[in-house]
Amino acid sequence: MRKIRVLVVDDSMFMRRMISDLLSQDAAIEVVGTARNGQEGLEKARALKPDVITLDVEMPVMDGVTMLQKLMQEQPTPVLMLSSLTTEGAEITLKCLELGAVDFITKPSGSISLDIYKISSQIIEKVKAAAQARVAATSVPTQATAVVSPARAVIARRGGDAPLVVIGASTGGPRALSVVMSSLPADLEAKILLIQHMPEGFTRSLAERLDRNSPFIVREAQGDEVLEPGVAFLAQGGKHLKVERGSRLVLTQDPPVHGVRPAVDVALLSIAQNYPGKVVVAILTGMGSDGAAGVRALYAKGAYTIAEDESTCVVFGMPRAAIQTGCVKRVVPLDQVAQAITEGVKELCSSSRAA
């Protein structure tokens, strides 16, 4: 079997050595080169044509963000960012995901993490996932710019009986969510929940970025909120999100499901059990099968179900698993997901009025 060829780019000699040693422990991975900065990283990427690149952000000569931009224009390659847990680090990481990085790894203790070995299994798993990813020769995704009114919070909406839209995503999700949320119409009569696989410390920044480009108010869920039309709540990183009776949001530290927290299935199954209203579900790009069980349960209760088409997925795992349940009504490319959601909401509203 052909090994996954990896290029490690980091300005710290210690980190280059540690990451290389950790990856080399896996028989399926071969570290074919290392680089000290973004300029050297680009040169070695051109020469070595690796399957995956691990990329630090802060480096001399050329930083990781600049290298990523140039790489995605010249030679699209799956990139795994190394991120710090700071607020600034989260912002830069999310920018890199928008620019085309597949995923990121959080350094346990700063730019030079002496305890990087603690996350060795995570690094290996994410490198293997990145090797399967589809990356496109684009810098920033083409998307509609939301025209957001300063008074959007008081736009007349349907009220408590507005359908609930739930969007779940994993690898490639932040970029996909940005495309979908910026494309939804401002007058859509819906409440929204967003579940993105992401560790603690990153979802607040993601919510703020989505909020700036969406006609909906986007907030990181804190727990005890009540679903409301015109507002999208993003599941908090590192915690499961459930919907209890009365449309109340609850955060829990229950064990990970499918190896992740928040898990899409946890949210969807709680909705199937506790939410009496109409539901639209969209499963976007992501590794694994999270969301499939929830799609099956909600479809049985009349939900309008959507999955992203393989042609636009970074990783066609979660959508494939949902489709394989036989409970997905629409399969559409990413640029048509917002339209499919809108049509689903209108169809459910029409059926409610007819009833």
Q: Do domains 4-131 and 152-354 have the same CATH topology?
A: yes
Please tell me the pTM assigned to this model.
0.89
Three-state SS annotation for the chain: CCCEEEEEECCCHHHHHHHHHHHHCCCCEEEEEEECCHHHHHHHHHHHCCCEEEECCCCCCCCHHHHHHHHHHHCCCCEEEEECCCHHHHHHHHHHHHHCCCEEEECCCCCCCCCHHHHHHHHHHHHHHHHCCCCCCCCCCCCCCCCCCCCHHHCCCCCCCCCEEEEEECCCHHHHHHHHHHHCCCCCCCEEEEEECCCCCCHHHHHHHHHHCCCCEEEECCCCCECCCCEEEECCCCCEEEEECCCEEEEECCCCECCECCCHHHHHHHHHHHCCCCEEEEECCECCCCCHHHHHHHHCCCCEEEEECHHHCCCECHHHHHHHCCCCCEEECHHHHHHHHHHHHHHHHHHHHHC
Q: Round to whole Å and give the CA distance between 272 and 296.
A: 10
* CA dist list (Å): 156 to 159, 181, 186, 187, 351: 8, 19, 10, 8, 21
Q: So where are the chain's domains?
A: 4-131, 152-354
Backbone angles phi, psi at 89, to 5 degrees: -60, -40
Q: Which position among 182, 197, 265, 270 bears the catalytic label?
A: 197
* CATH code 3.40.50.1370 for 4-131: no
**Cα-Cα-Cα-Cα dihedral sign, residues 247, 251, 254, 256:** positive
CB of 236 within 8 A of CB of 202?
Answer: no
- For residue 109, give the amino acid letter: S
Instruction: Name the CA dihedral angle for 347, 351, 352, 353, rounded to a multiple of 10 degrees.
Output: 100
d(CA 96, CA 38): 14
Token code pair at residue 295 = 């799609």
Whether 240 is a known active-site residue: answer: no
Task: Determine whether 197 is an active site residue.
Answer: yes
254 CB neighbour count, 10 Å cutoff: 12
Point out the catalytic residue in the list 84, 113, 170, 205: 170
Cβ neighbours of 156 (radius 10 Å)? 9
Which pLDDT score, from 0 to 100, does residue 155 have?
46
Structure tokens at 66: 């600049």
Assess whether 178 carries a catalytic annotation: no
CATH of 152-354, one of 3.30.360.10, 3.40.50.180, 3.90.245.10, 3.40.190.10: 3.40.50.180
CB atoms within 10 A of CB 98: 17
> How far is the C-alpha of 318 from the C-alpha of 51, rounded, in Å?
22
Which of 11, 51, 56, 290 is catalytic? The answer is 290
CA distance 188 to 124: 42
Q: How far apart are CA 96 and CA 110, in angstroms?
A: 18
pLDDT averaged over consecutive 10-residue blocks of the chain (355 residues)?
Answer: 94 91 94 96 97 93 94 95 76 91 80 64 91 75 44 48 95 95 95 95 94 96 95 97 96 95 98 96 96 98 97 95 98 98 94 63
